[in-house]
Amino acid sequence: MTGRGLRAASHLLCGLMLTLGCMAPTESLWAQTSNSRSMQQAARAVQGTITADSEQGEVIPYAVVSFTDVRATIAGKEGEYTLENIQPGTYEVEISSLGYETLKTTVTIVASKSNYDFKLKPANFYVEDVVVSARASSVGAATASTISRTAIDHLQANSLADVMQLIPGADITSDVFKPDMTSIKTPTIRGGAALGTAIIMDGAPISNTANLQEMAGAAGGEGTGTRAIDPTSGIDMRTITTDNIESIEVIRGVASAEYGDAASGAVIINTKAGREPLAVRFNTNPNVYSLALNHGIALGQKKGFLNYGADYAYSTFDPRESYDTYQRATARVAYSNTFLRGRLSTNTSLSFLHTKDEAEPNPDDEYDYTTHNQKDWGIRFATNGTFTLGKGGGSEVV
């Protein structure tokens, strides 16, 4: 082949290669465009209705319908919704509406179906009933009920008188019963006399029978009224705070001789002992303001526990009458420990009490000359313990 023929063949080959190179991208671009058109044709509108999952099956207007990370819309007033350009596939769907539980589900969209309905369950806003009950047990010929610390906290009690409201058969003697502390409150069980109801705290009885000759108390004259207290009326339960109480057991009927001359039942109070997180409680209602602090700490290995607390309460008969008030301040320190490899457990406590009950004449009543002023101071020391006689044997209360 001559030189001129070689040059012609070379030019022909280069032209052919250039033509093929230009055609390849064009074919690829056509394939992508064709595929994109196919996907756009497959995308379609998804619609449906949102109804309640109930017997009536009523429609839910204005529910929020969301296909996660794709699209969202708000249903119409008839519960209908429409979402445009949804391609076949699996989606996370979330539907919510006020008054109904939020629905989260997975839905597979297929090309042959465009209608997808959903149902929402009505939300239950009703609070379950709170039942505060006492645990009954047999105590000889009588029956007993135990009130735990949980029940006391739920009641938000300011004194032992409030807690006694939970006991079947128990009654609070008070000429005027209000959620205040300006009137004396003494316990009676099953209609018995308050004098026959024993109150025992940490194993030590509490009573005001030291001087039975004083029958009219601080008020003098006839009867006790709402302010005065005498030995026949029993202990004033306003003086017993509930912030340092762990549990209360109330024996109805004739109690055991262990509890003394209790003819109509006994109230057994167990105060807090051992380690306890620092707790500060403030309680208020229109008639009573109270502030309490309690804490229990460990003194070290085999050194026992120290539990201490204090509280203050201020009460008025009527928020508009600041001249009729009752105040109470208490403090308590308790030490508990075990000895002899756990055979002897002891609990010793020292308590302080101060109350101030005052009533001045009503400044708006020119005929009111009644004045009442009563102050009480008290210190109580109690110690008790349990000694186990032997391995697997009984125990004796010291």
Distance of alpha carbon 339 from the chain centroid: 37
The answer to whether 205 and 215 have CB atoms below 8 angstroms apart is no
| CATH number at 135-397 | 2.170.130.10
Q: What is the pLDDT of residue 126?
A: 62
Mean pLDDT for 140-158 is 79
Structure tokens at 191: 């209609």
Q: Kindly tell me if the per-residue pLDDT of 374 is higher than 80.
A: yes
Q: Kindly tell me if the per-residue pLDDT of 8 is higher than 60.
A: no
- Any bridge partners for residue 358, and if so which? 325, 373
Q: Kindly tell me if the per-residue pLDDT of 69 is higher than 90.
A: no
Residue for token pair 């201490």: 308
CATH of 44-120, one of 3.40.30.10, 3.80.10.10, 3.10.20.30, 2.60.40.1120: 2.60.40.1120
Q: What is the pLDDT of residue 79?
A: 93
Q: What is the pLDDT of residue 316?
A: 87
Distance CA 330, CA 307 (A): 14
First to last CA, the chain: 133
pTM (2 decimals)? 0.55
Distance CA 207, CA 310 (A): 22
Q: Which of 161-175, 219-233, 262-276 holds the top average pLDDT?
A: 262-276
The amino acid present at 341, given as its one-letter code, is R
- Dihedral angle of Cα 237, 242, 244, 249, to the nearest 10 degrees: 80
Q: Kindly tell me if the per-residue pLDDT of 148 is higher than 50.
A: yes
Residue 17: CA atoms inside 13 Å, Cβ hemisphere, count? 6
In the chain, which segments carry CATH 2.170.130.10?
A: 135-397
Q: What is the pLDDT of residue 25?
A: 44
Q: What is the pLDDT of residue 228?
A: 55
- Any bridge partners for residue 66, and if so which? 72, 94
Backbone angles phi, psi at 163, to 5 degrees: -65, -35
- Dihedral angle of Cα 220, 226, 228, 232, to the nearest 10 degrees: 100
Distance CA 64, CA 372 (A): 67
Q: What is the pLDDT of residue 306?
A: 93
Work out the pLDDT band at 178, boundaries 50, 70, 90: low
In the chain, which segments carry CATH 2.60.40.1120?
A: 44-120
The answer to whether 363 and 372 have CB atoms below 8 angstroms apart is no
Distance CA 354, CA 369 (A): 26
Q: Express each pLDDT in 230-267 by its tens digit.
A: 556 667 888 889 888 988 888 877 667 777 666 677 88
Q: Kindly tell me if the per-residue pLDDT of 2 is higher than 70.
A: no
Distance CA 154, CA 275 (A): 22
Residue for token pair 């006991």: 167
Q: Express each pLDDT in 89-106 by its tens digit.
A: 899 999 999 889 999 999
Distance CA 229, CA 58 (A): 65
Q: Which helix H or strand E contains 22, and what residues bound it? A: helix 3-42
Distance CA 349, CA 273 (A): 9
Mean pLDDT for 312-336 is 88
